[in-house]
Structure 1
Amino acid sequence: MKYLSCILLVLFTFQIQAQEQISLETCYQLVTQNYPLVKQTELLEAQNKLEAAVISTSKLPKIDLDAYATYQSEVIEFPVAMSGVEPLNKDQYRATVTVNQLIYNGGATTAALDLKSAQLKTKQKQIEVQLYQLKLQINQLYFSILLAQESDALLKAKHTLLEAKLKEIQSGIKNGSVVPSSDNVLEAELLKVDQQSKAVNSNKKTLIETLSTLITFPLDASIVFETPIVVHDIQHQISRPELDVFQLKKDEIENSENLISKQNAPKLLGFATGGYGNPGLNILDNSFQPFYTVGLKLNWNVFDWNANKKQRESLSITKDIIENETEIFKLNTNIELNKQQDEINKIEDFISSDKQIVTLRETVLQTAASQLQNGVITASAYLIELTNLYEDEQTLAAHKIQLELAKANYNIIKGQ
């Protein structure tokens, strides 16, 4: 997995550097690969392996070492008829090694391993949910950069137009067809446009740095951000990763129920004990001697006061709670989708009227330009119409970008 991620990262880097541009989809992919939270996926896998290894030790022999020495105030005494038997020592010593081997436990070990596996899947999917939610932040940053990029382009176009018009005015002043000092108005506006351009670029630089930090990937201020054409399908079903988390939590509960059902199953163990002590197994031999025992042991909790049953009932209620949370999540998501769709419809209406306004402003500006050239109006009057056109073009550009942002957010909310 690490090797594949490195290859993809290199490919992304090469593509971005070669084309000096980046797309919204690339930002999505970069954040899911580079964001620090991604490291937790591997950490969870390592942790799960260790915990599974601990559970699996129940299948291995367990070895216990015991040693003790005692002194008894009284020992067994033998009748006079057996006076030839040496009395037992009041001080006794024993050291033993016992090996217990689980033979059967009703599948409890396998059930515990299955539960651990289910818990790992849930935790990893929760990480995926957190990474997925970062896409909304990326949308906001990415489209804000696009708006700054578009604003800068409009300012450059305005600057070019003003420079051309300034040359015409200066020529008219020399010919006496234009009122003197009219060029001062345009020169002041050019300085104002330069200030606006610097402010836009400064804001764009900040946004790019923030996005670069979020996706943990270097982005140059000169990089071009592609304008995505976002397609959203209002008929598409919700497919958010949160729904997978709810399902995995229910799978966890089912595995927990299975484990609980195995807890009261009979457990069969084999054991062997070897030792050395005084006395040994033959208490009549009052000396140090080795000994051993082997056998089988059965343990079965026949009645647990319905504790097992109550645990399963509690888990069943938890499953109902998760089902309820799923329905609430779907309801809230649909509410957000409806709001977002209303926003899309509203912006589309704005764009339609924006285009008409810009067309009318262009006609008015053409007339004002002709009047300025013929000395009918002042440069200030012309500048008012130019500013009106620029502001309306800026509004149109902003609405177009807002529309794509609304569609992109719609897709993220839906999980498309």
Structure 2
Amino acid sequence: MKQFIVIFAILLTLPSVAQNSITLEECYQLVKDNYPLAKQSQLLGAQNKLDEEVVNTAKLPQLSLDAQATYQSDVIEFPLAMSGIEPLNKDQYRATLSVNQLIYNGGLTEASLNLKSAQLKTKQKQVDVNLYHLKQQINQLYFSILLAQESKLLLNAKQTQLEAKLKEVKSGIKYGVVLPSSDKVLEAELLKLSQQFQELESNRIILIETLSSLINQPLNVETEFQNPLVETKLDSELTRPELELFQFKKEEIEHSESLIAKQNYPKLLGFATGGYGNPGLNMLDNSFQTFYTAGVKLNWNVFDWDSNKKQRQSLAINKDVIDTETETFKLNTNIELNQQQKDIAKIEGFMASDLEIINLRKEVLKSADSQLKNGVITSSAYITELTNLYEDQNVLVKHKIQLQLAKANYNIIKGQ
């Protein structure tokens, strides 16, 4: 009893800011928004923006500064007929500033940007897939909490019935109708119920705290977990995020193929170089002078030993691999859905027989109640029948929650 008081004190100290009520759908949304992994989507977006800015720098003028000082062991010598020309210095100096401007690269920059965008979609969809897998964990916790709530209600009903019966038995003992020790059996059973309450509440607290951490939302035992009305459409159409992920991976490969194809396109650049050095462009002027050059340059790799072609063939194989992964995923998911359908049908069958068993147990308990009042049976026999009824009612509640859980998992497996 002291343990129960301690647990009750803990409950009173739990945060008062916890939600008053929550639904299964809200839990789905909260884990999607608040789970640490969810931050990756924004981080990936920021990273992609930086990558795109880097790619776009190819369209901007490229500046380079060079400076050098050299000493040569020999220089150009002029014949005697040109002896009036001053010979070149063996120590030479040059500083240049060059500007290169891309004019045309066959759409390589745009292809790179398209690939970056496709890679971002793939990475963000992978985050969505990882978050989606948390839904089944949410289901397990949420319906376990509901089961604990329903079990507590049954325990309360059993406790109320035992307390009422204890009063009747004590009255029967007083008038000599019931055996003197009969009330002790009932009191012992009430103490056992107190232990069951403690264990049930302790497990419920752990489940609520785990769910609260998962969805990053304050919850406590005062929070009402609404019982969802889960509806399922038993068809084979899948809408799982993994299927979109497979499609994004194929699109990423297609953009990679386009990028590789454009790498062999001709590239046209404009350039200009200005400098100061000794000698300058005029080799006959042995003095420091300024100079500049400007022009255009064409670069075209006309033959690469089929390297480009083989890279694209390799990517095409990757697309075939993704197709096989997609088919495998669909097959395994449909098998899982079929198993889940059978579980739903099995639980529904159990529930039908549960109701029949409970009705029979009630008749037996009614008879035992009359016999106990008349001193025909002992309190132990009565408690046995009451416990049997409670356990069968608990089985029905368990099957009801299991059915809702099975339907919710079916929807998650299907992607609904």
**TM-score normalised to structure 2 length:** 0.95
The answer for the alignment partner of 1:6 in structure 2 is none
Matching of residue 327 in structure 1 with residue 346 in structure 2: no
The answer for the alignment partner of 1:97 in structure 2 is 97
The answer for the alignment partner of 1:410 in structure 2 is 410
Q: Is the 8 A contact 2:239 2:414 kept in 1?
A: yes
Alpha-carbon separation, structure 1, partners of 2:17 and 2:29: 13
Q: Is the 8 A contact 1:69 1:94 kept in 2?
A: yes
Map 1:378-393 → 2, pairs under 5 A:
378-393=378-393
Secondary structure, counterpart of 2:348 in structure 1: helix
Alpha-carbon separation, structure 2, partners of 1:63 and 1:21: 63
Between 83-92 and 322-331, the greater mean CA deviation after superposition? 83-92
Q: Deviation per CA, 1:339-362: give whole Å up to 9, x if none.
A: 111111111111110010001101
Map 1:216-231 → 2, pairs under 5 A:
216-231=216-231
Secondary structure, counterpart of 1:317 in structure 2: helix
Q: Deviation per CA, 1:161-195: give whole Å up to 9, x if none.
A: 00011111111111222221111111111111111
* Letter aligned with residue 262 of structure 1: K
The answer for the alignment partner of 2:373 in structure 1 is 373
Between 234-243 and 352-361, the greater mean CA deviation after superposition? 234-243
Q: Deviation per CA, 1:84-120: give whole Å up to 9, x if none.
A: 1111111111110000000000000010011001000
The answer for the alignment partner of 2:357 in structure 1 is 357
Matching of residue 194 in structure 1 with residue 188 in structure 2: no
Q: Is the 8 A contact 2:236 2:334 kept in 1?
A: no
* Letter aligned with residue 356 of structure 2: Q
The answer for the alignment partner of 2:119 in structure 1 is 119
**What is the CA-CA distance between 1:78 and the residue it aligns to?**
1.4
Between 46-55 and 374-383, the greater mean CA deviation after superposition? 374-383
Alpha-carbon separation, structure 2, partners of 1:221 and 1:378: 38
The answer for the alignment partner of 1:210 in structure 2 is 210
Secondary structure, counterpart of 1:229 in structure 2: coil
The answer for the alignment partner of 2:78 in structure 1 is 78
Alpha-carbon separation, structure 1, partners of 2:336 and 2:236: 15
* Letter aligned with residue 52 of structure 1: E
List 4+ stretches of structure 1 deviating above 2 A.
Answer: 14-17
**What is the CA-CA distance between 1:76 and the residue it aligns to?**
1.4
Alpha-carbon separation, structure 1, partners of 2:373 and 2:193: 22
Alpha-carbon separation, structure 2, partners of 1:166 and 1:133: 50
The answer for the alignment partner of 1:247 in structure 2 is 247
Q: Is the 8 A contact 1:278 1:289 kept in 2?
A: yes
Matching of residue 293 in structure 1 with residue 293 in structure 2: yes
Secondary structure, counterpart of 2:133 in structure 1: helix
Map 1:32-51 → 2, pairs under 5 A:
32-51=32-51
CA-based RMSD of the aligned residues comes to: 1.4
Secondary structure, counterpart of 1:106 in structure 2: coil
The answer for the alignment partner of 2:317 in structure 1 is 317
Secondary structure, counterpart of 1:129 in structure 2: helix
Alpha-carbon separation, structure 2, partners of 1:344 and 1:122: 35
Q: Deviation per CA, 1:206-247: give whole Å up to 9, x if none.
A: 111111111111101221211112111111511110111000
**What is the CA-CA distance between 1:372 and the residue it aligns to?**
1.1
Structure 2 unaligned regions, length at least 5: 1-15
Alpha-carbon separation, structure 2, partners of 1:16 and 1:340: 34
Structure 1 unaligned regions, length at least 5: 1-13
Secondary structure, counterpart of 2:295 in structure 1: strand
Alpha-carbon separation, structure 1, partners of 2:106 and 2:286: 44
Map 1:9-48 → 2, pairs under 5 A:
17=19, 20-48=20-48
Alpha-carbon separation, structure 2, partners of 1:76 and 1:93: 16
**TM-score normalised to structure 1 length:** 0.95
Alpha-carbon separation, structure 2, partners of 1:15 and 1:151: 26
Q: Is the 8 A contact 1:16 1:22 kept in 2?
A: no
Q: Is the 8 A contact 2:162 2:186 kept in 1?
A: yes
Q: Is the 8 A contact 1:107 1:262 kept in 2?
A: yes
Alpha-carbon separation, structure 2, partners of 1:146 and 1:223: 11
Between 68-77 and 313-322, the greater mean CA deviation after superposition? 68-77
* Letter aligned with residue 90 of structure 2: K
Alpha-carbon separation, structure 2, partners of 1:63 and 1:86: 35
Secondary structure, counterpart of 1:124 in structure 2: helix
Alpha-carbon separation, structure 2, partners of 1:203 and 1:85: 102
**What is the CA-CA distance between 1:75 and the residue it aligns to?**
1.4
Map 1:39-188 → 2, pairs under 5 A:
39-188=39-188
Identity of aligned residues (%): 69
Secondary structure, counterpart of 1:77 in structure 2: coil
* Letter aligned with residue 330 of structure 2: K
Q: Is the 8 A contact 2:95 2:277 kept in 1?
A: yes
**What is the CA-CA distance between 1:21 and the residue it aligns to?**
2.0
Secondary structure, counterpart of 2:92 in structure 1: strand
The answer for the alignment partner of 2:12 in structure 1 is none
Q: Is the 8 A contact 1:22 1:226 kept in 2?
A: yes
Alpha-carbon separation, structure 2, partners of 1:224 and 1:178: 43
Alpha-carbon separation, structure 2, partners of 1:224 and 1:194: 23
* Letter aligned with residue 213 of structure 2: T
Alpha-carbon separation, structure 2, partners of 1:392 and 1:72: 103
Q: Deviation per CA, 1:244-300: give whole Å up to 9, x if none.
A: 100000000010011011100100000000000111111111110000010000000
